[in-house]
Chain A
Amino acid sequence: MIDALWTNLDYVGSVVLFCIGLYCVITKNNLIKKFIGINIMETAVFAFIVALGVVEGGDAPIMGSGATPPFTNPIPQALILTGIVVAVSTTSLALSLIIRIYRHCGTIEADELREMG
């Protein structure tokens, strides 16, 4: 059991990270903290998918560098690059919404906002 956890440390780590993020989203009252929770969840998923492409002892998959096979799978990294771009744009949209909410309501605490309707 411990062995299995240890060999899959990267996956276990991302699951733990995911849970931390989810905990933040559900329990935090501050909208910015809520969104940081989502960012943590995103990081967890990204780490998980990048870990999928890792090959034991694999070289960087770059042509002409004199590297020898086996190579690390580059596709998950390329995908996650796109994923990060998406995450950044979501974050910027969320933060700008939070700024507008603050300007209108003078608070970004979820419970106070709920009272204001």
Chain B
Amino acid sequence: MSASTMIVAVIIVPLLGAVLTPVVGGRSGKAAGPWAFGTMLLTSAIGVYLMAHVARVGPFSAYLGGWEPPYGIELRFDEFSASISVICLLGTLAILFSFRYAEKELPAERLRYYYTLLLLNLTGMIGFVVTGDLFNLFVFMEILSLSSYALVAVSGEHTAEMAAFKYLIMGAVSSLLVLFGIGLLYALTGSLNMADISTRLTGAAEAPAMLAFAVLAVGFVVKAAVFPLHIWLPDAHAIAPSPVSAILSGLVVKMGLLGLVRIYQIYYGARVLDLSTFNLMLVWLGAISIVMGAFFAIFQEDIKMMLAYSTISNVGYIVMGLGLASQYSVIGATVHVFNHAIIKATLFLGAGALIYRTGYRNLTDLRGVGRSMPLTTAAISIGAVSIVGIPPTAGFLCKWYIALGAIEANQPFFGFALVFGALFIFVYYIRMVNAFYFQQPVHPEILELKEAPPSMLVPVLLLAALCLIMGILGRLPLSFIEPAVARLLGTLGMGG
């Protein structure tokens, strides 16, 4: 099989898997979990093959129906598509984690639909990162958004439904903005292929090009939950079942950021607008997100609420890195997309394991849990250390690069925002670790508990180990992402 067939397969396999899940799962839903797990393993294998191929020969494409762009639909696999690795990894682990967790949290007749939605969500994300066509980007974004809204509501409490509804309203408006922007770009260029738009946009009228950029950017910024547009995130991410929170916080908000990267690819290549004003705005929004997200997180009692606010703060780092638009900061931001996904999944799945065993979500109630569940709390602590950005963990590298980028871009002030945010984050993780290990338990029965079952413990420990490995082997993602960033920043020109 050729590499271009494999790009199609990497979308078709999970999609077919999702469609077949309710059939395979049957009424009891017993087989749905293993089936979804198998599907994701197969998808991951294809993903690994694609990654190896892109490392060997650089970006490559598949043309659906044999029609070349601008007429046909192009699936394109470049270095940014390598985020497929994190999607497959987290997807597989979250499904493994769900075996026991979903069985306890959800009624049996809903299990098969839960796995269907999870697979659809992952399909949407995989499609989002490999498509080279702007309208398909929108369609895949809708697949992943719709399944996200439903996944938030899946637990069936009334607060979950409210959170899902709030998420849906914000999500629907942002999707509309994106669609509007795509329509404008089509009117300007007569094309929907991203590389093609980029070449045709050169010399287009400035006002509509700017309007298109603005609505697309705002649409993706809502999806990414950057500060003033973040209000849907904390409830939705905290109330969803823990494996879903891991996917939402680790991956789904990143799709907004990747969308932003795609728009940048188009506009940097076309050189039709001066984006420096917009970049400055992104940097400021990012800095405010960092500080405000971390600030709100300090006051949360609910452990998952705290992690959800921390996502806003970390998205701020990435947005700031993109906005600074220097080579170091963009590399740092891109790598943080990967690393934060792994770190946040460690934390959410770890928190899920604690909630599964203890039944409590508040830090006060969870006091002393470190004595009875040492492995899970150790994994959470590693995740916590990495999200603060202490070397040699995964979070350090990216934040270091973003700080270097701030200096490189001659705006060291924003380096301070970064350090300030890290200090805030440090405070609330100290609170967490303190509650786990050093405080007297409020509920003495917590000390009698056993570790989480292996199907939950293995993903958590694996992810925690990855937090360390990604910190120590930091060159690996860097060497992968550097050529893509160089292309993005226009030193090599567009399209590669």
The reply to whether the CB of B158 lies closer than 8 angstroms to some CB of chain A is yes
The reply to whether the CB of B161 lies closer than 8 angstroms to some CB of chain A is yes
**With A89-B146, A97-B153, A97-B161 as contacts: A45 and B139 at CB distance below 8 Å:** no
Q: Which of A41, A75, A94 contacts B173 (CB 8 A)?
A: A41
Give the docked Cα–Cα distance between A102 and B158 (Å): 9
Give the docked Cα–Cα distance between A89 and B143 (Å): 10
The reply to whether the CB of A105 lies closer than 8 angstroms to some CB of chain B is yes
User: A residues within 8 A CB of B180?
Assistant: 45, 48-49
**With A82-B135, A97-B164, A100-B153 as contacts: A38 and B186 at CB distance below 8 Å:** no
Are B173 and A52 touching (Cβ within 8 A)?
A: no
Are A104 and B186 touching (Cβ within 8 A)?
A: no
CB distance from A108 to the nearest CB of B (A): 10
Are B173 and A25 touching (Cβ within 8 A)?
A: yes
B160-171 to A contact mask, C-beta < 8 Å, 1/0: 011011001100
**With A94-B168, A97-B165, A100-B153 as contacts: A45 and B158 at CB distance below 8 Å:** no
On chain A, which size bracket covers the interface? 20 to 34
Are B183 and A49 touching (Cβ within 8 A)?
A: yes
Are A101 and B176 touching (Cβ within 8 A)?
A: no
Are B149 and A93 touching (Cβ within 8 A)?
A: yes
Enumerate A31-49 residues with CB–CB distance to B below 8 Å: 31, 34-35, 38, 41-42, 45, 48-49
Are A93 and B150 touching (Cβ within 8 A)?
A: yes
Helix, strand, loop or mixed for chain B's interface?
A: helix
User: A residues within 8 A CB of B161?
Assistant: 97, 100-101, 104
Q: Which of A42, A52, A82, A101 contacts B165 (CB 8 A)?
A: A101
Q: Which of B157, B158, B179, B186 contacts A75 (CB 8 A)?
A: B186
The reply to whether the CB of A2 lies closer than 8 angstroms to some CB of chain B is no
Give the docked Cα–Cα distance between A42 and B180 (Å): 9
Are A31 and B165 touching (Cβ within 8 A)?
A: yes
User: B residues within 8 A CB of A101?
Assistant: 158, 161-162, 165
Q: Which of A38, A48, A113 contacts B183 (CB 8 A)?
A: A48
The reply to whether the CB of A68 lies closer than 8 angstroms to some CB of chain B is no
B352-387 to A contact mask, C-beta < 8 Å, 1/0: 000000000000000000000000000000000000
Are A45 and B183 touching (Cβ within 8 A)?
A: yes
Give the nearest-CB partner of B187 in chain A.
A52
CB distance from B434 to the nearest CB of A (A): 28
Given A86-B142, A89-B142: 9 more A-B contacts, CB < 8 Å: A35-B169, A41-B173, A45-B176, A83-B179, A86-B139, A86-B175, A94-B165, A97-B161, A104-B158
Which 9 pairs from chain A and chain B are nearest by CB? A104-B158, A49-B183, A52-B187, A86-B142, A101-B161, A100-B161, A45-B180, A97-B165, A38-B172
20 contacts between A and B (CB under 8 A): A42-B172, A45-B179, A45-B183, A49-B179, A49-B183, A52-B186, A52-B187, A75-B186, A82-B139, A86-B175, A90-B146, A90-B175, A93-B150, A93-B168, A94-B168, A97-B161, A97-B165, A100-B156, A105-B158, A117-B159
